[in-house]
Amino acid sequence: MTVESPEKLAEALESVGYLADDGIATAGFLALRLGRPLFCEGEPGTGKTSLALGLAEALGLPLIRLQCHEGIDAAQALYEWDFPRQLLHLRALEAAGDGGLDVETAEQSLYTERFLLSRPLLKALQTAPCVLLVDEIDRADDEFEAFLLQLLDENAVTIPEFGEVRAEHPPLVVLTSNRTREVHDALKRRCLYHWLEHPDLGREIEILRRKIPDLGEELAAQVATAVHRLRAMELLKPPGVAESLDWAQALLALGMSALDAAAGARTLGSVLKYSEDLDRVRAKLDKLLA
């Protein structure tokens, strides 16, 4: 799908349920037009991961996701060799050759695409065009960031035993970070950058109504307003849009059509995930929902 402007991209995203503001639509459009990775940073729950999912659906492209974590390495992210199949292959060669085996020929036959297990990064280069989501890059370490640089620079990786794998069509790369640590400048320089804020009140109400069609306008406004007030409090884990949706769905599941102090107390665990936050908010629930 060819996108002609940020406005057209916003329309395409809206058609798949992602409501993008001007900043997000412009950042996504420039990433597409310039062929640059898009680095999305912001608080948890601001829609960073959802943006990548929405872009893939809106553009009609496959989504390939790499979930980062502490200690992630090339074998988990890029490729590894299928050792059991390689061993079976060697035994088959030995049997076929009646014990006479040319070592060099056998070794060359082991490191072919037949035995290469593609992990998300390599799969993205082989599948492109696609959307590659590198989720929560801040959870990985410095070495893994450095490992990503060739892929971001050249849309290619080098496998020592196999050679270079280069994408015929560069993937649209979206990297996300919750800023649990600072990502190095070398990685950021290769990307377009966008900081995602929580949606404003009107857009959050619209998101709730769009995602939960049975949700009434009044209840949607009450939930969104309460969540915005929660975000203004000094909480250990301010709620994101996902928690707004959980709260609204919990209220609907209990057959409630309005959010009052009693309903809020019963369902507060849908939106807050720390006991300290629950205690702090329960003490001010009447005022919060007034």
Residues sharing a CB contact under 8 Å with residue 199, sequence separation 6 or more, in sequence order? 19, 21, 46, 47, 207, 241
Q: Average pLDDT for residues 63-92, to the nearest whole number?
A: 91
Q: For residue 225, report the phi and psi dihedrals to the nearest 5 degrees.
A: -65, -45
Most confident of 125-129, 138-142, 178-182, 225-229: 225-229
How many other C-beta atoms lie within 10 A of the C-beta of residue 253? Answer: 10
Distance CA(148)–CA(254), nearest Å, equals 47
Q: How far apart are CA 46 and CA 55, in angstroms?
A: 16
C-alpha 104/C-alpha 117 separation (Å) is 22
Query: What per-residue confidence (pLDDT) applies to 281?
Result: 94
**Euclidean distance between CA atoms 184 and 46, whole angstroms:** 22
Helix, strand or coil, per DSSP, at residue 42? strand
Those residues with Cβ within 8 angstroms of residue 281's Cβ, 6 or more apart along the chain or in another chain = 230, 233, 235, 268, 272, 288
What pLDDT is attached to residue 100? 60
Mean pLDDT of the chain: 92
CA 42 vs. chain centroid, Å, equals 12
Q: pLDDT of 240-289, one tens digit each?
A: 999 999 999 999 999 998 999 999 999 999 999 999 999 999 988 988 88
Q: What angle do CA 193, 196, 198 make, to 5 degrees?
A: 175
Beta strands, E only, 15-170: 38-42, 63-67, 79-81, 116-118, 131-135, 156-159, 163-166
**To which residue do tokens 């590198």 refer?**
134
Give the separation between CA 254 and CA 245, rounded to whole angstroms.
14
The Cα–Cα gap between 239 and 46 comes to: 9
What is the per-residue pLDDT for 41?
Answer: 96
Instruction: Report which residue type is found at 66.
Output: L
Give pLDDT, residue 105.
Answer: 76
* pLDDT tens, position by position, 83-136: 999 889 888 887 776 656 677 777 788 888 899 999 999 999 999 899 999 999
Q: CA 190, CA 88: separation in Å to the nearest integer?
A: 42
CATH number, domain 6-74+120-196, options 3.40.640.10, 3.30.1050.10, 4.10.490.10, 3.40.50.300: 3.40.50.300
Q: What is the pLDDT of residue 287?
A: 86
Three-class SS state of 247: helix
pLDDT at position 28, please?
A: 96
pLDDT, position 101? 65
Model's pTM, two decimal places? 0.88
Contact in structure between 165 and 157 (CB atoms under 8 Å): yes
Look at residue 66 and tell me whether its pLDDT is greater than 70.
yes
**What would the mean pLDDT of 189-194 be, rounded to a whole number?**
96
The 10s digit of each residue's pLDDT in 145-179 is 888 888 888 899 888 888 889 998 899 999 999 99
Q: What is the pLDDT of residue 151?
A: 86
